[in-house]
Homo-oligomer: A and B are copies of this chain.
Amino acid sequence: MRAISGAQDDVGSVGEFGLIARVSAALDTTEAVLLGPGDDAAVVAAPDGRVVASTDQLLEHRHFRRDWSSAEDVGHKAAARACSDIAAMGAVPTAVLVALATPGDVPLTWTDGLVTGLRDECRALGAAVVGGDVTAADTVAVVVTALGDLQGRPPVTLAGAAVGDVVAYVGRLGWAAAGLAVLGRGFRSPAQVVGAHRRPEPPYAQGPHAALAGATAMTDVSDGLVADLGHLADASSVQIALDSVLLPVPNRLTEVAAALNVDPRDWVLHGGDDYALVATFPAGSTLPADWVRIGVVREGAGVAIDGVTVAPRGHEHFR
């Protein structure tokens, strides 16, 4: 095996075990990591006797382009997607495992950047990368499994919304979709929306806050507000009735949409990848800080806006 070497090299030049050694050296740890990378498996603390787990895929050409996002961006986003699912249960992410498939000609600077992004997104959360797997492939694929801690609380599922509950969200809606639209037209700005696509900022801590505030159901907006609320409505056997007045389009999105000659409302209602949290709370609840009321839970099915049922238009694979 050739030595672990300089930045001009590619993954193939150091090989599987060289890459693993390089990745492991870049990672850090936390108190919850009882045994970190390098063994057959990791061991992570699960203080309340339960572990929350979710897995999520980020594929080159499908979910990102290496010319549109930096390696760090891809790392941040891959960790964010899986950790957002943990937050959406009302839990705190503790650890992630990463399966990386990559062509041998990908530069080590790229995989270094990916690992930096993964590590730093986890670090900001108090979590750590505890293990993974590396294999050769024709295109880059990053599959992240996130583990989390419910801190003694029951999980906030999709199924608990009750008629009369208030619907509220926290985070951004439509920004990542606007950024993707901009990139798709060949532009690289405005930075705010392009950045939202490249590196989402899920409001992770709001998941536990919502749980503590009595949220009856919760999910993260990965596919689009209507699509994801549709899953919540289905699981809870209710209708989510949104009020469009409570869902104003941010000025920035209106400007960008005008330049692209599209309707910014589509981004807000159907854009994914911002990882806002949306939840239902018992009527009369005091919403946690920063949460915005957008509707109520009614008898019925699906998602309605101003009384009219809306079909999901979030991204659907295989279509």
Contacts and interface: CB of A to CB of B under 8 A. Distances in A.
A53 B95 contact: yes
Given A46-B46, A97-B145, A137-B141, 20 more contacts: A15-B317, A15-B319, A39-B159, A40-B85, A40-B218, A41-B53, A41-B155, A42-B53, A43-B155, A55-B145, A56-B99, A57-B99, A57-B101, A57-B133, A59-B137, A62-B137, A63-B135, A104-B317, A134-B317, A143-B143
A241 interface: no
Contacts of A53: 41-44, 53, 95, 97, 130-131, 145, 147
Contacts of A15: 316-319
B235 A38 contact: yes
Interface string A111-139: 00000000000000000001111111111
Nearest to A146: B41
Interface stretch (A86-94, A245-253, A261-269): A86-94
B43 A150 contact: yes
Nearest to A17: B316
Contact of A62 (B91, B135, B146): B135
Contacts of A134: 317
B46 A51 contact: yes
Counting from the closest, the 6 A-B pairs by CB-CB distance are: A46-B46, A41-B54, A40-B88, A145-B145, A104-B318, A16-B317
Given A143-B143, A155-B43, A132 B317 contact: no
Contacts of A44: 50-51, 53
Contacts of A19: 318
A177 interface: no
A236 to B, nearest CB: 11
Residue with the highest number of chain B CB atoms closer than 10 Å, among A43, A85, A158: A43
B136 A318 contact: yes
A219 interface: yes
A98 interface: yes
B43 A46 contact: no
Given A50-B46, A317-B135, A97 B55 contact: yes
A107 interface: no
A91 B158 CA distance: 31
10 contacts: A39-B89, A39-B235, A40-B158, A41-B146, A43-B50, A47-B49, A55-B98, A63-B135, A101-B141, A138-B139
A131 B89 CA distance: 14
Nearest to A103: B318
Contacts of A52: 41-43
Residue with the highest number of chain B CB atoms closer than 10 Å, among A89, A91, A158: A89
A11 interface: yes
A220 interface: yes
